[in-house]
């Protein structure tokens, strides 16, 4: 078997050093360069890319950089001021504005204005007066049916003593039922009664104008029936379920709870959050149904409600 001449031929063909030496010096310097580590050739475009990378950085004026930083800080400060102004314009999502009715709902509000109208233990002044008159009539001394001759008749004296004892009993009963001795829980109950009487539709239907009704009633084709007024049935008793009454009751509870809330009181903070979000839903519903009408305006003005209580997201 003849010997192989492939290695010699390969060495003669792929001898890069001899090929590079055979090339002219000018073309060899322009087209190829010799790598110092592995003797592999690199082309001119790679050298151009490396030269671009080694290009000197562009000069930046420090005065212009300082001006840019100053403008950026001024813009950020202005954005912060505008955000604070928007928050103040929306108002507080928890506490309402101090209107006269809201001030009277506070836990430590003076009770001179409501002392004569409200009593403790679910008592009403009219019912107490009637009960006192009836008890006085029951216990009033009567003249003797068969007077004994010769015995002095002291009926007038008994009547005076009875009147004095009745006055003392009436004062004691009114002192027990007075709001001066009521607790905070009793004050909250009285405030709920006041909210029902102030915003209940059994009273506001006669004061506020009705909501605008649509001229076209569903399911009717007669034009005379379309223009006829809708008869609203009369309410029996006090109104406790309308949205404005519920909003007023929640506002009274929220203001009292927010004034007495501590930093680490997580349970009451959760309850406050639930009541605030429930009031937000009721306010959105009332505004959508009433379309910003008289009922909405009455609730907002008397309770001092702001847009932050029903707009956007509330985070506590």
DSSP of 21-44, one letter per residue?
A: HHS-HHHHHHH-EE-TTT--EE-H
Q: What is the pLDDT of residue 216?
A: 54
Mean pLDDT for 54-80 is: 88
Q: What is the pLDDT of residue 125?
A: 86
Integer Cα distance of 22 and 19 in angstroms:
5
Integer Cα distance of 86 and 81 in angstroms:
9
Segment among 148-162, 270-284, 302-316 with least mean pLDDT: 148-162
Mean pLDDT for 97-104 is: 90
Using one digit for the tens of pLDDT, what is the confidence trace for 175-194? Answer: 888 888 888 888 888 999 99
Q: Please determine, for residue 37, whether its predicted confidence score (pLDDT) is greater than 70.
A: no
286 vs 193, 211, 276, 305, CA distance in Å?
A: 21, 12, 15, 13
Q: Which of the two residues, 211 and 69, has the higher pLDDT score?
A: 69
Mean pLDDT for 34-43 is: 50
Mean pLDDT for 290-296 is: 88
Tell me if 270 sits within 8 A of 307, measured CB to CB: no
The pLDDT > 70 percentage for the chain reads: 75
Tell me if 215 sits within 8 A of 227, measured CB to CB: yes
Prediction pTM value: 0.64
Q: Which of the two residues, 37 and 211, has the higher pLDDT score?
A: 211
Integer Cα distance of 183 and 189 in angstroms:
10
Q: What is the pLDDT of residue 15?
A: 59
Shortest CA distance to 256 belongs to which of 275, 240, 241?
Answer: 275
Residue 133's pLDDT band (cuts 50, 70, 90): very high
Element of type H or E holding 276: helix 266-290
The residues with which 34 forms a beta bridge, in sequence order, are 41
Q: Which of the two residues, 8 and 131, has the higher pLDDT score?
A: 131
Mean pLDDT for 53-76 is: 85
Q: Please determine, for residue 93, whether its predicted confidence score (pLDDT) is greater than 50.
A: yes
What is the CA angle 134-135-139, rounded to 5? 120
Q: Please determine, for residue 253, whether its predicted confidence score (pLDDT) is greater than 80.
A: yes
Shortest CA distance to 303 belongs to which of 289, 288, 282, 274?
Answer: 282
Segment among 69-78, 154-163, 273-282 with least mean pLDDT: 154-163
Mean pLDDT for 226-251 is: 79
Lookup result for tokens 């000197």: 56
Directed axis angle between helix 184-199 and helix 294-303, to 10°? 150
Q: Please determine, for residue 86, whether its predicted confidence score (pLDDT) is greater than 60.
A: yes
Q: Please determine, for residue 215, whether its predicted confidence score (pLDDT) is greater than 70.
A: no
What is the CA angle 167-194-105, rounded to 5? 100
Q: Please determine, for residue 24, whether its predicted confidence score (pLDDT) is greater than 70.
A: no
Mention every residue, 6+ apart, whose C-beta is less than 8 A from residue 143: 153, 155
Give the SS3 label for residue 316: coil
Tell me if 17 sits within 8 A of 40, measured CB to CB: no
Q: Please determine, for residue 299, whether its predicted confidence score (pLDDT) is greater than 70.
A: yes
């Amino acid at each position: 078997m003849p010997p192989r001449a492939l290695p010699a031929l390969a060495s003669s063909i792929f001898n890069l050093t001899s090929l590079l030496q055979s090339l002219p010096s000018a073309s060899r310097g322009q087209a190829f360069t010799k790598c110092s580590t592995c003797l592999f050739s690199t082309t001119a475009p790679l050298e151009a890319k490396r030269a671009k990378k080694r290009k000197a950085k562009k000069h930046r004026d420090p005065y212009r950089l300082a001006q840019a930083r100053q403008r950026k800080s001024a813009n950020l400060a202005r954005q912060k001021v505008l955000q604070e102004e928007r928050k103040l314009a929306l108002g507080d999502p928890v506490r309402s504005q101090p209107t006269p009715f809201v001030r009277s709902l506070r836990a430590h509000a003076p009770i001179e204005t409501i002392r004569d109208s409200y009593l403790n233990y679910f008592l009403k002044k009219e019912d107490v007066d009637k009960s006192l008159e009836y008890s006085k009539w029951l216990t009033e001394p009567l003249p003797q049916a068969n007077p004994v001759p010769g015995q002095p008749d002291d009926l007038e004296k008994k009547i005076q003593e009875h009147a004095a004892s009745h006055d003392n009993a009436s004062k004691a009963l009114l002192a027990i039922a007075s709001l001066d001795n009521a607790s905070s829980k009793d004050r909250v109950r009285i405030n709920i009664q006041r909210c029902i009487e102030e915003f209940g539709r059994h009273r506001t239907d006669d004061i506020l104008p009705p909501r605008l009704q649509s001229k076209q009633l569903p399911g009717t084709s007669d034009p005379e029936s379309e223009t006829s007024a809708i008869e609203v049935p009369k309410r029996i008793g006090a109104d406790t379920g309308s949205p404005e009454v519920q909003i007023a009751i929640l506002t009274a509870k929220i203001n009292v709870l927010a004034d007495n809330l501590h930093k680490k009181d997580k349970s009451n903070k959760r309850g406050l959050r639930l009541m605030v979000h429930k009031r937000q839903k009721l306010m959105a519903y009332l505004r959508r149904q009433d379309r910003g009408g008289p009922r909405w305006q009455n609730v907002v003005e008397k309770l001092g409600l702001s847009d932050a209580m029903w707009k956007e997201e509330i985070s506590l």
